[in-house]
Every structure is written in structure tokens, then in C-alpha cells.
């Protein structure tokens, strides 16, 4: 590999959401993006890596597959890892963490393989190896081929950099973005969340409507690579974006603390002027004036014993309010329990398999425009 050579870029997605992420990648101009288990791949260079981290809302991480070596035994791994062109991508002053997995290979001891690669990094560049290092090098040894990948994101990409306050069981921004996409949201209609918590769905929708880049206020691991060009990166990040005049988006919750969190998060995200948050019960929800849009809601799931029985009435009240007051609006509902979704009385359907998230199995239900 040379610094100018194209390489495989892997976008990590939650299992089941790969097609949605692929559609976003193609929409953002990453030509050749294809679905594979656990994510999306395409071929590109370092500028594509930067742009993927900066612009993609649904990716959990961006990995750069920087090369591979054929290895039959540990001595061969040791020799070839010492010859790998680490200096093209890594800096001697930035510590690295090494993670190795082995599958169906003659090298089967991940710990021994890790030790050989760490030694090669120390001998070749004088790199410090540390378990809490800011950079992560991954080696996957499968069918006697050792593939090296770098985590170019660092912190997971759902951490946008401007959301500080979160409520209980918050929905990750990456998941919120893909669920909005699945519901047909493109930024040209209002979104209402009647159980908004810390405001994730409303703020994500408002950012999409305004054309704000998800990675605009955070840092990334690739900024510490040898291949990084600060001047080119600053030019990419500061490129002018369209400033449409989007519709207002609305969030409500009966918890006044959640409403304060939502407002503060919207302010930091730069969408306070196109979001409105208010404290009231679901039964007091009123339809905003103007054209119909999308009601996107992530109600409580009742994960503790005894809670779920109380929630059937809550889901029922939500469904009745939407049926009575939101004709013409579509509904997207995220829950762990199809029984609770059914209790809403809404004409819900699901097109996605359940998604694992924080130890839960989340499922997205949708409606056509309510009649």
C-alpha cells in the first residue's frame, strides 16, 4: 500500500440496517458502495475516509482496511509485520492499541499474534502500545490471511459532539437517522415526537432539514494518522452547505427535566430556532398548523417487572390522540414489544427485522398516512 493507493473502506452498521446505510452512502456520492454482513464497503482514499466520518449519519464507525499479509505461522507473521509500511499511516508519537481475531487459520492464538504485531510496531516505528491508546489497529486472521484495519473514527459516530444531556435509555443518533430514513423522511416536512426524552429524534430530523453535517463539531481518530492533511480537512469541513428554510419540528414530554435537556441539546446543535419543546401529556398533544408530516416516537418499553402492564394504557392514549388529531400524518414507532405497538390501535406494519441496541431488540413500526 502507498499513501495514494485506493483501499477498502468499511462502514460499520447495526446488523439489519446495512441496506439503509448503503442507500445513504450512495446518496452521499460514495460510488460502488455495496452491502456486506455488518456494514457497507467501497473503495476510496483518505479524503473519502474523512468525508464518510463527516457526512454519514447512519454509520457507527468507519474502518480503513490498509493492507493484508499471507501468514501460515507466527514466525511468518512476525517477519511480514515488520516489513509492513506502517510509517505511511501511523506516527511514532501516537500510542496504538492492537486487537486481533483469528478464524479458520493455522494461526489460532490471538494473544500470540497480538504480541508479534505489537513488537513489529515498536521495532519499526518506536510506537508505544497501550490498552487505552487513542488509535486502534485491528488484525483479522482468517483463512491464513491477516487483514489490517484502522478505526478512523475513534469515539463512536453516534457521539455527534454537541449532545451533552441524555435521558433514560436514549436512542443513538445513528439509529435515529436510519429509522427516519426508513420512514421516508428527507428533511422537507415537519416531525413531531410526543415522547421526546432528550430530543434525539427531533434534533436529528432538524439537522437533516437544515443540511448540517453530523460530524461538524467533533474530532476523529484519523486526525492523528501520518496521512492526515489538516489544511485539506479544514477546507472539507468548512465547505459552504445549503441553508434551506425548513419546517419547525416539535418535541413534547410530560417530564419537564427532559424538555430542558432537549432545549439545551437543540441549542448546542444549532437548531433551536426550528425546534419547539413543550411539557405535557400525550393526550394533550395537538397537531401543528401547516402540512402533514411524520410523527416519530420512541415510547418507554417497560423493561422492569410490572411496568409493561401500565404502558398498554399509555400506548392506547398515544394511538387515540394520533388517530383523532393527526389525519394525513405518517407514524413511525420504535419499541421492543409488538404487543405494546398493537395496543396503540394504529395500523402499524414493520419492514425491518428487530435491531439489537443496548441489550434490547428494537423494532420499527410504520403507518401510511392516517385516515
- Asked if 133 and 259 sit in the same domain, the reply is no
- Average pLDDT for the chain: 94
Residue 256, pLDDT score = 96
Range of the domain at 296: 173-213+247-366
Residue 159: inside a domain: no
- Return the CATH number at 288: 3.40.50.150
- Taking only the tens place, the pLDDT of each residue in 168-196 is 557 999 999 999 999 999 999 999 999 99
Q: Domain tally for the chain?
A: 2
- Asked if 199 and 141 sit in the same domain, the reply is no
Query: What SS3 state is found at 48?
Result: helix
- Ranking 133-142, 214-223, 237-246, 319-328 by mean pLDDT, the lowest is 237-246
- Asked if 25 and 143 sit in the same domain, the reply is yes
- Asked if 62 and 180 sit in the same domain, the reply is no
Residues 6+ apart with CB under 8 A from 146: 68, 69, 70, 71, 77, 80, 81, 107, 113, 139, 140
- Taking only the tens place, the pLDDT of each residue in 42-78 is 999 999 999 999 999 999 999 999 999 999 999 999 9
**How far is it, in rounded angstroms, from Cα 231 to Cα 238?**
11
Residue 244, pLDDT score = 75
Residue 357, pLDDT score = 85
- Asked if 286 and 351 sit in the same domain, the reply is yes
- Asked if 11 and 108 sit in the same domain, the reply is yes
- Asked if 196 and 325 sit in the same domain, the reply is yes
- Is residue 282 within 8 A of residue 242, CB to CB? The reply is no
Residue 316: inside a domain: yes
Residue 274: inside a domain: yes
- Taking only the tens place, the pLDDT of each residue in 84-115 is 999 999 999 999 999 999 999 999 999 999 99
- Asked if 208 and 91 sit in the same domain, the reply is no
- Return the CATH number at 62: 3.30.2130.30
Band of pLDDT at residue 304, cut at 50, 70 and 90: low
- Asked if 69 and 201 sit in the same domain, the reply is no
Residue 305, pLDDT score = 45
- Is residue 113 within 8 A of residue 69, CB to CB? The reply is no
What is the pTM for the complete model shown? 0.94
Amino acid at each position: 500500500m502507498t499513501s495514494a493507493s485506493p483501499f477498502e473502506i468499511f462502514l460499520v452498521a447495526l446488523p439489519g440496517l446495512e441496506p439503509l446505510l448503503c442507500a445513504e452512502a450512495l446518496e452521499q456520492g460514495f460510488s460502488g458502495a455495496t452491502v456486506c454482513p455488518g456494514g457497507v464497503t467501497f473503495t476510496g482514499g483518505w479524503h473519502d475516509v474523512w468525508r464518510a466520518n463527516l457526512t454519514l449519519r447512519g454509520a457507527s464507525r468507519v474502518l480503513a482496511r490498509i493492507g493484508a499479509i499471507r501468514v501460515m505461522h507466527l514466525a511468518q507473521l512476525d517477519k511480514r509485520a515488520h516489513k509492513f509500511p506502517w510509517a505511511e499511516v501511523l506516527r511514532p508519537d501516537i500510542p496504538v492499541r492492537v486487537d486481533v481475531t483469528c478464524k479458520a487459520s493455522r494461526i489460532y492464538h490471538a494473544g500470540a499474534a497480538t504480541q508479534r504485531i505489537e513488537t513489529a510496531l515498536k521495532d519499526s516505528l518506536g510506537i508505544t502500545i497501550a490498552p487505552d491508546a487513542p488509535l486502534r489497529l485491528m488484525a483479522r486472521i482468517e483463512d491464513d490471511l491477516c487483514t489490517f484495519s484502522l478505526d478512523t473514527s475513534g469515539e463512536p459516530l453516534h457521539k455527534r459532539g454537541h449532545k451533552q444531556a441524555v435521558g433514560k435509555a436514549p436512542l443513538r443518533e445513528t439509529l435515529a437517522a436510519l429509522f427516519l430514513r426508513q420512514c421516508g423522511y428527507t428533511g422537507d416536512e415537519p416531525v413531531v415526537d410526543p415522547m421526546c426524552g432528550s430530543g434525539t429524534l427531533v434534533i436529528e430530523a432538524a439537522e437533516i432539514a437544515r443540511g448540517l453535517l453530523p460530524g461538524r463539531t467533533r474530532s476523529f481518530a484519523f486526525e492523528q494518522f501520518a496521512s492526515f492533511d489538516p489544511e485539506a480537512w479544514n477546507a472539507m469541513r468548512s465547505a459552504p452547505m445549503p441553508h434551506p428554510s425548513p419546517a419547525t419540528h416539535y418535541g413534547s414530554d410530560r417530564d419537564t427535566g427532559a424538555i430542558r435537556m432537549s432545549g439545551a441539546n437543540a441549542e448546542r446543535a444549532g437548531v433551536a430556532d426550528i425546534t419547539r419543546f413543550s411539557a405535557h401529556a400525550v393526550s394533550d398533544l395537538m397537531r401543528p398548523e401547516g402540512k402533514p408530516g411524520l410523527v416519530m416516537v420512541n415510547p418507554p418499553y417497560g423493561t422492569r417487572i410490572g411496568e409493561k402492564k401500565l404502558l398498554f394504557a399509555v400506548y392506547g392514549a398515544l394511538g387515540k390522540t394520533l388517530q383523532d388529531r393527526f389525519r394525513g400524518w405518517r407514524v413511525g414507532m420504535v419499541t421492543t414489544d409488538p404487543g405494546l405497538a398493537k395496543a396503540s390501535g394504529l395500523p402499524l406494519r414493520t419492514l425491518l427485522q428487530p435491531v439489537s441496541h443496548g441489550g434490547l431488540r428494537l423494532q420499527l413500526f410504520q403507518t401510511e398516512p392516517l385516515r
